[in-house]
Structure 1
Amino acid sequence: MHAYWNWLVGKKEDFTLEARIFHAICLAVMLCLTISVPINYLLQLPELCVVLTLFVLLTALLYYISRFKGRYKASVAVFQFFVAAALIANYYFNSGMNGPTYAMFLLTFVVSVVISPPRQYALWLSLNVALIAALMTLEWVRPGVIEQTYQDTTGRYIDLLFSYVALAAFAFLIAGYVRKAYNRQREELVAQAAALEEANHTKNKLLSILGHDLKEPLASLQGYLELLADFDLEEHERHDMNARLLTMTKNTSLMLSNILAWTKSQGHNFTADMQKLFVNEALHHVVELTKSISQKKEISFAAHLPEDLAVKADSQMLALVVRNLLMNAIKFTPTNGNIYLSAHLDGNTCTIIVKDDGIGIPSSLQNRIFSIDSGSRRGTASEKGTGLGLMLCKEFTAIMEGDLSFESAADHGTTFYLKLPAVTLPMIQLDQKQEDLETLQLWN
């Protein structure tokens, strides 16, 4: 019922709050007046029944034009004037000052305030007061002009009682809907403010990281160039200096890559390009890069990725996540350590595992390891990082509808588990790509 009601009044993504309130009022008016028609018929007020029926039909038409044709402003304007005309007719056919019409005028103004722009309040208040004052003055000056339609006091009692109950119920529904909508909008604003504050905190943290971590490699590069300009270095000194600068450059490049990827992911139109991918093929260049970097730190690296194992993922996101996990493993694994990359099928899930026997993650950091507030630890060879990589891995894994978890103990290494939806791909695709590669090599 809640979903059906939301469909009737319109989704908040498609309509303003005022438009949705107008739709709710139209529905409430149609319901109340539809009930009023048979009651007034039993009270022997056929003319009023006709007026109410016409008003129900016109309200339904205005609701349709606003809800399904998107002409909210035009519908509201017509609704206001037609309500005024209907109240004049109701005043005339329902005993004037002795009937319930004056209460309807008051409720009508409340409704006008709810559904109209603030700049129109004065217009509708003036019209409302002017109409009821003119009608009551006319009836007072010319007592016979308004016919008393009640047959007896019982009829008047029933009409006034029912009118009060209907108006009170209508006012309750409108006030409840407005208050609920206001509270929901206030909660959304509070959530947006919290998100904005978090984004601002993240931005400040990111700028601090950039300012701190870019300073060192730039200073090292400047110092190396000054040495080259002022001194003749030995070959082995040049070699050592080049190796350190290359490592710094790669770390800085990875840091900038992560920051750019995260910044892109914060855009409103950011989406994943989900495809069916062979894990071995999608991570081939990541494996080769890891081999190269791990060799320079004298770390043993082994990868076992079955050729027929496939997942549904974004190829760039998948590569970035696994690359960050492997670079973290290298960073926190000492010389002569071991890193393993593997993957296996577990039902409808493909689990990619990155395991190392390095220094592990301290228990004090494990609860916030996927947050930018986790901080950045130096690696076993004093490598630096931003603390952004694992947060990015977690966000991208969630975008790909996967899960990222870990197990770690101090001085006993860390194991990350990346779980993604598994799919089936015919091996002929892989065989064909291998044949194409062999043909290309033959031509070369």
Structure 2
Amino acid sequence: MQVRLRKFWWQLVGDPEQLPLEHRAFNVIGLITGVLLLILIPLNIALKLWVVSGMLVVIEAILVFLIIRARVYGQYTFSLLAYAIASYVVVTITFLYNSGSNGPALYLFLLTYLFLIAFTHPRFHRIWTVLHLVVPVSLLGLEYVVPHILATDYATLEYRYLDIATTLIIIVVCTYSITIYLRGNYEREKHTAEQHAYKIEAQNEQIRAQNILLQESNSEKLRLISILAHDLRNPLSAITGVLEILTYEELPADMRKAMKAELLLAARNTSELLDNLLSWTTGQIKGLKPIATKIKPEVVIANVLEVQQFIANKKGISITTHLEADVKIWADIDMLELIIRNLISNALKFTPKNGTVDISLNRNADNRTCTLAIEDNGIGIASEDMSRLFDRNVQSTYGTESEKGIGLGLYLSKELAALNHGKIWARSTPGKGSTFFVSLPLYEAESHPQPHQLS
């Protein structure tokens, strides 16, 4: 019921979300005044105040016209000014034809002043104040100088008492209603302002948090660029130097062959670094979205070993594989190849000459995932470095043959594994070697997990 009444009231005076406060205020004034006149007209007829009654009927018709003009056609400024002028005319006629200061006119001046001050723009308040001082004082002066021009139409003293008492009751009720209405508007505007302030504060907090993340991200990117510039300069300088020697110098065949091998190794290491960088920057700029398919991991491992075997042979490292048969996984083949290449490359980089690297693949007990393990007997990883092995703290590292890296491969491998519903972890003993594990979902014809997206 209360909701229906509120909706009906908003239909009369306007929705607070759609209509400005000043326009709604005029609608309220018009409705209150209209109701007031509907009470005063029969009262004045009963008191046989025929001139005042006729004037009030005319004013009621004008008021209805102004309300329609404002509410339907939106002409609020004209309607408000017309209302103000009409109120002065009504109260002046009431004063002249209803016993002057002995009637209710002066009380009605207070009511119209309250209406105009409460519901009009502050720029008009001085005008209403001056007029409500000048007009009543002028009428009182007129009554004092020429009292005989005033009509004293009360038939009996009881009529005067009834008229004034009714006027006072109307003024009190109207004052109460206006106060409640204004207080309701104040509380609503206060609540809206508080909600707006809370929303702005929440947005500011979000912006501050985003700024912190952005600053951290920019700092990481600048640091990465600095490291890349340093780490790419050396192999590129070496490649350039070797090419100049091979181009302009006459060298024995065995020396030329050795230099070409060094050149090929430097080029491959640089290419691997650039591949990782390209994958990472692509994910940062436009997001990586895996395209999952059924994959035989032994095929991917074989493809990677075709390239990495050259480095293993150069260092005399023996690579063995122990792959469970008929294992098929559900992942993005390019991402899986990048993960495997990074892990095998790291194993070869940190394994000394004549070391071993063992690659194994087995189903897990849950029969829903499998685990790829790449184990080496290299230099291992210090315990203080294990906690930040896969984080964004990119830094330069050196292999057993001074191979350069920046740690981007492990961080990227972790991200790519997560995108394919997998995970990566490591175990290591300094001086004895490390084992890196990658767990990925098995291919199942019934259901396949939807890949994530890096954004």
Normalised-by-shorter TM-score class: 0.5 to 0.7
- 1:418 corresponds in structure 2 to 438
Q: What TM-score do you get using the length of structure 1 for normalisation?
A: 0.65
Aligned counterparts of 2:345 and 2:244: Cα–Cα separation in 1: 31
Matched, 1:334 2:334: no
Question: How far 1:205 sits from its partner (Å)?
Answer: 2.0
Task: State the SS of the aligned residue for 2:405.
Answer: coil
Question: How far 1:172 sits from its partner (Å)?
Answer: 4.2
> Of the candidates 192, 201, 208, which is equivalent to residue 210 of structure 2?
192
Task: State the SS of the aligned residue for 2:330.
Answer: strand
> Of the candidates 28, 31, 39, which is equivalent to residue 93 of structure 1?
31
Q: Which amino acid aligns with 2:369?
A: T
Question: How far 1:36 sits from its partner (Å)?
Answer: 9.1
- 1:249 corresponds in structure 2 to 267
Structure 2 unpaired stretches of 5+: 34-110, 137-165, 447-455
Does the aligned pair in 1 maintain the 2:339–2:416 contact within 8 Å? yes
Question: How far 1:323 sits from its partner (Å)?
Answer: 0.9
1:80-135 CA distances to partner (integer Å, 9 max, x unpaired)? Answer: 45x543221112334666879977x6xxxxxxxxxxxxxxxxxxxxx944577788
Alpha-carbon RMSD: 3.6
1:245-270 CA distances to partner (integer Å, 9 max, x unpaired)? Answer: 11111100101111111111101444
Does the aligned pair in 1 maintain the 2:322–2:360 contact within 8 Å? yes
Does the aligned pair in 2 maintain the 1:397–1:403 contact within 8 Å? yes
> Of the candidates 37, 40, 63, which is equivalent to residue 5 of structure 2?
37
Question: How far 1:413 sits from its partner (Å)?
Answer: 1.4
Aligned counterparts of 1:177 and 1:259: Cα–Cα separation in 2: 45
Task: State the SS of the aligned residue for 1:373.
Answer: coil
Matched, 1:378 2:391: no
In structure 2, the CA distance between the partners of 1:338 and 1:84, relative to structure 1 (3 Å rule), is same
For residues 6-405 of structure 1, what are the structure 2 equivalents within 5 Å? 37=5, 50-54=8-12, 79-80=18-19, 83-94=21-32, 128-129=121-122, 153=172, 157=176, 160-161=179-180, 164=183, 166-167=184-185, 169-346=187-364, 347=366, 348-405=368-425
Question: How far 1:377 sits from its partner (Å)?
Answer: 1.6
- 1:407 corresponds in structure 2 to 427
Task: State the SS of the aligned residue for 2:23.
Answer: helix
Task: State the SS of the aligned residue for 2:238.
Answer: helix
Q: Which amino acid aligns with 1:314?
A: D
Percent of residue pairs bearing the same amino acid type = 31
Q: Which amino acid aligns with 2:5?
A: V
Q: Which amino acid aligns with 1:194?
A: I
Q: Which amino acid aligns with 2:335?
A: M
1:385-423 CA distances to partner (integer Å, 9 max, x unpaired)? Answer: 122111211222233333222122211211222223333
Aligned counterparts of 1:185 and 1:148: Cα–Cα separation in 2: 53
In structure 2, the CA distance between the partners of 1:377 and 1:155, relative to structure 1 (3 Å rule), is same
Aligned residues: 338
**Which deviates more from structure 2 when the two are superposed, residues 214-223 or residues 402-411?**
214-223
1:36-88 CA distances to partner (integer Å, 9 max, x unpaired)? Answer: 937xxxxxxxxxx85434457x67xx7xxxxxxxxxxxxxxxx245x543221
Does the aligned pair in 2 maintain the 1:368–1:374 contact within 8 Å? no
1:15-52 CA distances to partner (integer Å, 9 max, x unpaired)? Answer: xxxxxxxxxxxxxxxxxx965937xxxxxxxxxx8543
Aligned counterparts of 1:280 and 1:339: Cα–Cα separation in 2: 16
Does the aligned pair in 2 maintain the 1:278–1:307 contact within 8 Å? no
Task: State the SS of the aligned residue for 2:285.
Answer: coil
Q: What TM-score do you get using the length of structure 2 for normalisation?
A: 0.64
Structure 1 unpaired stretches of 5+: 1-32, 39-48, 63-78, 106-126, 427-444
In structure 2, the CA distance between the partners of 1:221 and 1:54, relative to structure 1 (3 Å rule), is same
Aligned counterparts of 1:249 and 1:361: Cα–Cα separation in 2: 26
In structure 2, the CA distance between the partners of 1:225 and 1:89, relative to structure 1 (3 Å rule), is closer
In structure 2, the CA distance between the partners of 1:214 and 1:148, relative to structure 1 (3 Å rule), is farther
In structure 2, the CA distance between the partners of 1:175 and 1:84, relative to structure 1 (3 Å rule), is closer
Aligned counterparts of 2:285 and 2:207: Cα–Cα separation in 1: 19
Does the aligned pair in 2 maintain the 1:51–1:89 contact within 8 Å? no
Does the aligned pair in 2 maintain the 1:310–1:425 contact within 8 Å? no
Question: How far 1:139 sits from its partner (Å)?
Answer: 8.0
